[in-house]
Structure formats: C-alpha cells, structure tokens
Amino acid sequence: MTRTAAIIGGGVIGGGWAARFLLNGWNVKMYDPNPEAERILGEVMANARRSLPGLMDVAMPPEGELTFCATVAEAVEEAEWIQESVPERLALKHEVLAEIQTACSLEAVIGSSTSGFKPSELQEGAARGGQIVVAHPFNPVYLLPLVEVVATNAEPAVIEKSRDILTGIGMYPLVLEKEIDAHVADRFLEAVWREALWLVKDGIATTEEIDNAIRYGFGIRWAQMGLFETYRTAGGEAGMRHFLAQFGPALKWPWTKLMDVPDFDDELVELIAGQSDAQSGHMTIAELLRARDDNLVSILRALKGRDFGAGALLVAQDKRLAEGTLLGAGVDGFEDLSQPLLTLNRAVPIDWADYNGHMTEFRYLEAFSLATDRFMEIIGCTKDYIKAGASYFTVETHIRHVDEVLCGEVIEVRTQMLLGQGKKLQLYHEMYAGDRLLATGEHFMLHVDLESRRPSEPSEEISAAMAQITEAQAGLGYPEGAGRAIRKPA
C-alpha cells in the first residue's frame, strides 16, 4: 500500500521534502497558500527527477501522486509523516502545529524543518508535544542525506518511526537527544559564515577567494571524511593525540572573531552583494542550481564507488530498493526463464551523459557489462565464486546503437543466453526505455581459472544453471540483431 506524507509549506525546503518522498514512491499532499506554489514545486521536481534517480544503480519505485490541498486539515488527515516547513517565526510555527494536531492521526510523526528553534520551543502549548520533533534537512533535500532529528521530549515510538521512515527514503537521520540552538551542523556553518564576513569586511579576501579556499581545499576533505577523521589523519601515524598536542595550543592564539559579528550596514551588504554578482552573475539561479545538482551527483557517485562517507548510504539504499525484486534473485528466483531475463533496471545518471545530452558511447558498454555481471550472478558466478578462483572473461563484444538514451531515462536490459555450454557463454542484451529499443549488446565469454589465467570448465552448479536456461529459452530463436559485424566497405 502506498504511504502518504504531508508537506506544509512548499518553498525551497518544503519542495525538496516533497520531491524526496514522491520519488521514493510516497504520495504527497501539499498545503501552501502561495499562488505560485505549483510552479515553484514543478521547478524543484524537474531538477529532482533529473538528478536523484541517477544516484541509484537500481530503479526507484514508481513516483507517488502529488495533491495540492486547500487546507492544512485536508493535507494531514491521512499522513504518516507531516513536515512543517513554514517561515522561521515561532508564533507562526505554533499556529500551524496546533492546526496540524487538530486534524492529524495520533500515530503520525510531525517533523519541523526549523534550522534554529529547539524542540522544547516548538512543543510549547502543543496538545501532544511528544509527537513533534525537529527534522532539519539540508538543501537540496532530494540529494543531501543528512537530517538532524532533535528528539527532546519525543515519545520513543516517534523517534523509532522517524528513523525508519527517513532511512527508508534514503536519508541519514542524525538523532540528537540533547537540544541546542541551531542544532549541530548549522553551528559549524555559522562559525565559518562569521569568519567569512570579517574577511570580506576587512578586505582580506573576496567572496570568490573565500569560496575557492573551501571548494579547492578542506571542503573536499570534509565531503568524504568530516572534521575529526580529517584531523586524525593530519596527526600522522600517532593519530589524533599527536594532532592535538601539535595544534591544540593554536586555539589560544587570536585567530578567530567568532565572538564578534560585523554590523550588517549598507556598506557591507553592497560590498558582499557586488562581489557575489562579479563572481557568479554570469549564471542564472536556475543554471547554478543545475550545476550544483550535477556536481553533487558526481561527487556522491564517486563516494558510492568507494562505499565511503555519504556514498555508503547510497550503497545501502540500493540494497533496500533491490529487495524483493528479480535483481536480487538467482536462477531459481525467476518464475519464467523462457523469456530474456531482467538484468538491469536503473535511471541514466548525469555523469553518463555526453556533450550532446545523451548517454555517451562507453556507458553503453558499462550498462551491458553490469547486465553481464548480473547474469553471471544468476547462474552462480557470484563474488564468492570469483573469490574462490574462477570467473568469466569477455573475449568479444558487439554493440548496436539503435536510438538515443537521454539523461534521467529509466532503462531496462533483458538478456537472452545464446550459448551456455562448457567453457563458453554467449549473451545477447537488449536495452529498452519502456517499449522503445535503445541498443543491443552481444558478448562472448570464456570461463577462466584465475590462478592459471587459462580457460577452464565451470562448476557443476553453473553448468546446471546454464542447461536450465538453455532448455527454457530454446523457443526464443536467434535474435535478428545477433551475429552482426561492421562490414568492410565495398
């Protein structure tokens, strides 16, 4: 059964929440009195549809249904998760939270996107304070996984449900039992922001120079290792203790102005705004947002390949999405072996696109290689089998490009086994977007002993699996596109 989330307030953050839930298969009911709300959310959804599915290496569930509601009560009445994302005014939040609790289920979780208010402040005067938690995300919500869940006075069942729901939509709930103004992450940002303001005001550095110091230096380290783990490595073989002994005394030096804030007078505002225009004015905000998302997807996918940092969360989410699908099944998991087997089902990520805006040539080979790897798993050539000393090596490949594959399209690869006997394995892949044939790939492989690096006979289990598929697919015939080669010009 499809689950339902309610989003109260559809600005940048509320729209990001809606996109995150919708693209993970939840229905979303949205309330926002802004007459431009549908247009604003439509732009957020376009960016999210282009970027989020490409983070995953399996297909995401069918997109949920979006409904705009005329009242808060209508939006929340069926919701399991309710996200309040109204402006940062405590009186307004109290008013909206009271309206939510009048109409919502007693079992619903009410999360607030507040970046500064503590849960105890939000819960003041509430009918059921234990139902309300801070659920503070980071923009763009549909790509960045962190959610600070500040759970002061929350009921244990609410905390547990918060963990389960947020993890289920691919986010990382950082549950904080002690509250503090601005939570944890924004306090770091505030410290860096204050220092940056002074550096600009005092003429030490421009906005662009400060941004370059971050994105070309420590920002890259922080993206994959955080603060303390980064400094642990800075201590060399002796680790954190050596780092603290070496650099700890510097904390007493007058380097920081954290306890002092420059006045936001017209002169400073114009200085910062003018430098920002000079730095980024050649791009529209829409262009900057797309560049941001493209860059984040590329960084996150690189971390995913290393199964490290935020990338490890994506690896875990892939496993959750694959559960219960044929993408996790062996040969006995397919009810019908008589048809080509589903070996790949995923969206085309941003980093697979070329300068023409469609999938570049070598990514076809990558997609078909992933399909081949999946077929090998189906017949029993798993990671454990390979680790034990045997595998398949590709001898020859032929790819036909039939139609364009655009960035963001969901592709499926279905695989027919043309030959599976003894040392030989010949596969024919067809790539589709819906019913549209995009490409075909034909691959001939030999089973190899990894110690001798010579062809060898596969295990009895693999031979039996290939025989089972051979018998089941005997009626398919030889595909029209198989056996092709590029002919010599006359």
- Binding site: residue ranges? 9-14
Task: Give the integer Cα–Cα distance in Å for 400 and 110.
Answer: 52
145: nearest Cα among 115, 173, 114:
173
Q: Write out the DSSP string of 205-274.
A: --HHHHHHHIIIIIHHHHHHHTTHHHHHHHTGGGTHHHHHHHHGGGGGSS---TT------HHHHHHHHH
Helices assigned H by DSSP within 404-455: none
- The secondary structure of residue 178, as a DSSP letter, is S
**Cα 269 to chain centroid, rounded:** 35
Please report, in range form, the residues annotated as the binding site for NAD(+): 9-14
Question: Per-residue DSSP letters for 139-159?
Answer: SSTTT--EEEEE-TT--HHHH
- Using DSSP's 3-state secondary structure scheme, residue 453 falls into coil
Report which residue type is found at 412: E
∠ CA(196), CA(198), CA(203), 5° rounding? 100
Based on the number of CB atoms within 10 Å of its own CB, is 187 exposed (0-12), middle (13-18) or buried (19 or more)? exposed
Range 352-359 contact pairs with CB under 8 angstroms and sequence separation of 24 or more: 352/54, 352/407, 353/406, 353/407, 357/406, 357/407, 358/404, 358/405, 358/406, 358/407, 359/404, 359/405, 359/406, 359/407
Task: Report the C-alpha gap between 288 and 75 in whole angstroms.
Answer: 32
Task: Give the span between the Cα atoms of 424 and 407, in whole angstroms.
Answer: 35
Looking at the DSSP bridge assignments, the partners of residue 176 are 150
Record the tokens describing residue 416, joined without a space.
Answer: 């027919």
Residue 485 — left, alpha, or beta (φ > 0 → left; ψ -120 to 50 → alpha)? beta
- What six digits make up the tokens of 140? 């763009």
CA dihedral 300, 305, 308, 314 (to 10 degrees): 60
Angle at 208 between CA 202 and CA 210, to 5 degrees: 60
CB neighbours of 315 closer than 8 A, spacing ≥ 6? 304, 307
Q: What DSSP letter does each residue of 315-338 carry, written as one string?
A: HHHHHHHHTTSGGG--GGG-S--S
